[in-house]
Amino acid sequence: MSEIVSPSAYSSAEIRLEEFLDLEQFPIHDLTHPKRAALVKDCRLDLKKWGCAHIPDFISSSAIKEMKDEAYRIMDGARRAHALVNPYLTKEDTSLPKDHPNRFFEERTSSFINSDLLESDSVLRKIYDSDVVVHFVSDCLNVGPIYRWAEPLGRNPYSVMNDGDYFPWHFDGNDFTVSILVSESDEGGDFEYAPDIRSPHNERFEDVKRVLQGESDKVRVLSLKTGDLQIFKGRYSLHRVTVTRGDTPRIIALPTYVTNPYLVNRPHHAEAFYGRSMLIHHERDLERLDNLTD
């Protein structure tokens, strides 16, 4: 007779890493494994040098296929935005000079499949919910502790870009983002970023302005391939995705992490990116420790 056992924790499901990783190649669960140490070392160097770490072919092709299939099944829920956004996802402050980055607005035409739409047995959900993955990402960033955050819409969404779509220059509300490309567009869809262009308590508006005006030598381009893992400090690095072209949509899974697990996006950020704000976004519109605009 089978015994009914109550969960020992609210999230009691054991996540099988083998469902999305080749553990021989990427033994992220084994803290003594030299391969894990080498991966962490490379990521730390890349993050220091380029503000971005990149592990090719990290997620198994079967898990990529599962995520792609899921994204297509729930694609109807993708919200195509026509929002005009500035890099901070804030309202325009007309008291600032006309060429201030706060007043630089671009049209976002890309879509999100928000996190609340993911299927219950979604592989993306499992990747996000795995503490082993959080620990690995934290080690790679050399920052800890980091957490999943309370953001209900944007914690692990799919971003979808169809022919002609554009994802404008912006900073993220969360500290760190892991990107997993699930489907490559036929053309375009390059990730461009200016590493660590701002830091806690230092907005560096002049440097940001130069990037927006296309005059900065700080911009780097990363062309991801399906299955690659990218770890990125989106709160400090201004970034965008160039226009995508062709019939194949660019679909990317975006698990996101924070240093304060209580936080969510600010209401205006949630509305512009994820199509709506919820009560939680208004209740938790708190001061940020880093004192950055958003």
Ligand X SMILES: O=C(O)CCC(=O)C(=O)O
When asked if residue 60 is in the footprint of ligand X (CB under 6 A), the reply is no
Closest approach of Fe ion to the CB of residue 166, in Å? 13
Q: Which amino acid is at 56?
A: P
Dihedrals phi, psi of 131, to nearest 5 degrees? -65, -30
Of positions 53, 117, 238, 252, contacts ligand X by CB under 6 A? 252
When asked if residue 239 is in the footprint of ligand X (CB under 6 A), the reply is yes
Closer residue to ligand X, CB minimum distance, 5 or 221: 221
When asked if residue 175 is in the footprint of Fe ion (CB under 5 A), the reply is no
Q: Which stretch binds Fe ion (CB under 5 A): 30-38, 165-173, 207-215, 285-293?
A: 165-173
Q: Which does 235 bind (CB under 5 to 8 A by kind): ligand X, Fe ion, none?
A: none
Closest approach of ligand X to the CB of residue 254, in Å? 5
When asked if residue 168 is in the footprint of Fe ion (CB under 5 A), the reply is no
Residue nearest to ligand X (CB): 159
Closer residue to ligand X, CB minimum distance, 17 or 104: 104
Closest approach of ligand X to the CB of residue 10, in Å? 27
Residues 199-238 as x/- pattern, contact with ligand X by CB under 6 A: ----------------------------------------
The separation between the first and the last C-alpha atoms of the chain, rounded to the nearest angstrom, is: 55
191-194/111-113 β-pairing: unpaired
Of positions 26, 176, 191, 236, contacts ligand X by CB under 6 A? 191
When asked if residue 173 is in the footprint of Fe ion (CB under 5 A), the reply is no
Closest approach of ligand X to the CB of residue 23, in Å? 26
When asked if residue 254 is in the footprint of ligand X (CB under 6 A), the reply is yes
How many residues belong to the site for ligand X (CB under 6 A)? Answer: 9
Q: What is the 3 state secondary structure string of the chain?
A: CCCCCCCCCCCCCCCCHHHCECCCCCCCCCCCCHHHHHHHHHHHHHHHHHCEEEECCCECHHHHHHHHHHHHHCHHHCEECCEEECCCCCCCCCCCCCCCHHHCCEEECCEEECHHHCCCCCHHHHHHHCHHHHHHHHHHHCCCCCEECCCCCCCCCEEEECCCCCEEEECCCCCEEEEEEEECCCEECCEEEECCCCECCECCHHHHHHHHCCCCCCCEEECCCCCCEEEECCCCCEEEECCEECCCCEEEECCEEECCCCCCCCHHHHHHHHCCCCHHHHHCCCCCCCCCCC
Q: Among residue numbers 191 through 250, which ones bind Fe ion (CB under 5 A)?
A: 234
When asked if residue 172 is in the footprint of Fe ion (CB under 5 A), the reply is yes
Binding site for ligand X (CB under 6 A): 159, 167, 172, 179, 191, 239, 241, 252, 254
